[in-house]
Chain A
């Protein structure tokens, strides 16, 4: 019956990681805000 809650949690963790990397690595304040929103 479709993906389990674990699949959603793994996807959420990967998304959070990309957003956190953007916040930590990028220096432009606008990109930081966009990265925060993509978390």
Chain B
């Protein structure tokens, strides 16, 4: 009976996971894609629970489905229609970096398949009973991996500060362009080179009388 129940829950979670994953890719509206991704992450959390990984399941819901997806929805609401526009210009180094990363991933997969085929990945790991529990993960964070944990927190802090700085720069640039288009030349260097007798947009009418 328990076996049937586990299989039923697994089948429902797997179906939801695959369906929402396909929805993320196929939806045209990024807002609906983000909502589908929340469902995808929730279904993944159920699968983690079935694997007795309670901490990962909780983190999946709290961090990814909660914090990260809320951030995605904020970005979509902030960018509006421009969020779906493809980049107009891709530099050559980006193409080279993408090709290098793709090649590295392919080599890694081929190596793993080759090692598995040769029987060199068949060693069983010695997993303790407390592996993956919240207490065990917390202890590892504060003992063996303390440096990596603190470096990660600093990286996140730098990313947050960078986001604020980039956001303020883009706001300032937008404000300047809006002022330039709506209010005419802003500096003495912005000379008008249009036909004589006409007034550029934003300049007062007295400018043509001088």
Contact = CB atoms under 8 A, between A and B. Distances in A.
Contact of B50 (A2, A27, A29, A34): A2
Q: Is the interface of A mostly helix, strand, loop or mixed?
A: helix
Q: Is the interface of B mostly helix, strand, loop or mixed?
A: helix
Nearest to A39: B21
Given A14-B18, A35-B25, A7 B10 contact: yes
A29 B87 contact: yes
Given A11-B14, A14-B18, A31-B30, A2 B24 contact: no
Contact of B47 (A8, A21, A38): A8
Nearest to B11: A3
Interface of B: 3, 6-7, 10, 14, 17-18, 20-22, 24-25, 27, 30, 33-34, 37, 40, 47, 50-51, 64, 68, 72, 75-76, 79, 83-87
